Amino acid sequence: MSIDVLRVLKSRRTRLIICALFFGALIVWLNFRDHRLRSAKESQASGAHCDDGIGAAKSLAAAASDPIASASEAAWAPKINESASPGPAPAGMVWIPGGHFWMGADEPHWQDAKPWHRVYVDGFWMDRTEVTNEQFAEFVKATGYVTVAERKPRAEDYPGAIPENLIAGSVVFTPPQRPVELYDHFQWWSYVAGANWRHPEGPVSDIKSRMNHPVVHIAYEDAIAYCKWAGKRLPTEAEFEFASRGRLDRKRYDWGDELRPGGKTMANTFQGHFPDTNTGEDGYKATAPVASFPANGFGLFDMSGNVWEWTSDWYRPDYYAMLAARGEEAVNPKGPADSFDPNEPGRAKRVHRGGSYLCTDQYCSRYAAGGRGKGEPDTGTNHLGFRCVKEGK
Ligand SMILES: [Ca+2]
């Protein structure tokens, strides 16, 4: 440092300017911090998506405030088809008769699940449970299939990535040791090398005692490959919601309006303080064996909770508003033509449904009926699985 520069720094005027700049920067930083905390609290209050930020680790549809557009629509009554199943049930599947229903949710902050709109779906067969580790192992044994999480990421798919960082793995829920602010998803989601369906928490874990649990760390193409092998396909989002509501009309949960009717636990969700303290009050801190909780009105298990499940629809928060704007019932809707997530623009996502063992009213209550999730097709986690459906004809 030259003598001239030191002389300037020592001058009283310069010291005053430096002090002013320092306090100015401090005020800007404090404002920024307050803004982040405020945003985090608003996000909490608005029913954040459980999966927000997962894509980074590895709601726009301001629909009409009146959820049902007109009195004549309000009088419209849902109707379950009365047709019998078209034949004997394929192994492990249940006949879902299809019909006319209201799709959506009343939750005030779920803008992407509004407005209520009229939907018709044809009847279809649906897997009674989530696909289990045992079932997925049969598929892998028969086909030699290697899941996305088991493959080394290709350099061309991650331009600019350091080659040593392209390691096979998946995103794992890794709870912090103490309470944390809920705006920072990196506090509980980690990319773990070697995590995949055989090793849900990483290389040191296995599934030997979990063969009847839902398979996890399944990317969209893995789910498609399994369903195709089984002669089935993934459900559309509308099929999933029709099936999960189990003959009920616009109830908060798949089983009614009460979370725990008569004190009974109806689904595998999160109890305690999210994300640091999971009390496992419902008997499970992570996945449960499929069908550990009561079936819904169609005889389907875990349509709410346990693991999120892939559907075949692209995600857009304004899709329901688009359907409702047509002013007519949507018949067998298959999702929008493209995807848009305002929280992570540029990342195309498919819809997840049903919520998981990590869902809690403190952070994300999307295990409630009508709750929508979303995720990039190449990304599995240890709370995401799937089940298949089959055409009725
Ligand atoms: Ca589920």
Distance of CA 253 from the midpoint of ligand 1 (Å): 13
Distance CA 199, CA 215 (A): 10
Distance CA 54, CA 356 (A): 15
Q: Hey, what amino acid is at 385?
A: G
Distance of CA 116 from the midpoint of ligand 1 (Å): 23
Q: Taking the CB of residue 335, how many other CB atoms lie within 10 A of it?
A: 18
What is the C-alpha radius of gyration for the chain, rounded to an integer number of angstroms? 24
Q: What is the pLDDT of residue 6?
A: 39
Q: What is the pLDDT of residue 21?
A: 59
Distance of CA 36 from the midpoint of ligand 1 (Å): 32
The domain spans of the chain are 43-391
Q: What is the pLDDT of residue 50?
A: 61
Q: What is the pLDDT of residue 18?
A: 52
Distance of CA 215 from the midpoint of ligand 1 (Å): 11
Please tell me the class of the 43-391 domain: alpha beta
Distance CA 261, CA 355 (A): 19
Distance of CA 128 from the midpoint of ligand 1 (Å): 11
Q: What is the pLDDT of residue 63?
A: 39
Q: What is the pLDDT of residue 38?
A: 43
Distance of CA 306 from the midpoint of ligand 1 (Å): 5
Q: What is the pLDDT of residue 37?
A: 40
Q: What is the pLDDT of residue 129?
A: 98
Tokens of 202: 């990483």
Distance of CA 363 from the midpoint of ligand 1 (Å): 18
Q: What is the pLDDT of residue 61?
A: 34
Tokens of 180: 């944390």
Token pair 């346990």: residue: 306
Distance of CA 244 from the midpoint of ligand 1 (Å): 10
Distance of CA 83 from the midpoint of ligand 1 (Å): 27
Distance of CA 342 from the midpoint of ligand 1 (Å): 25
Distance of CA 214 from the midpoint of ligand 1 (Å): 8
Q: What is the mean pLDDT of each run of 10 residues along the chain (393 residues)?
A: 42 55 53 45 47 54 47 79 92 97 93 96 98 98 98 88 89 82 76 96 97 98 98 98 97 94 92 80 91 97 97 98 96 98 95 92 83 95 97 85
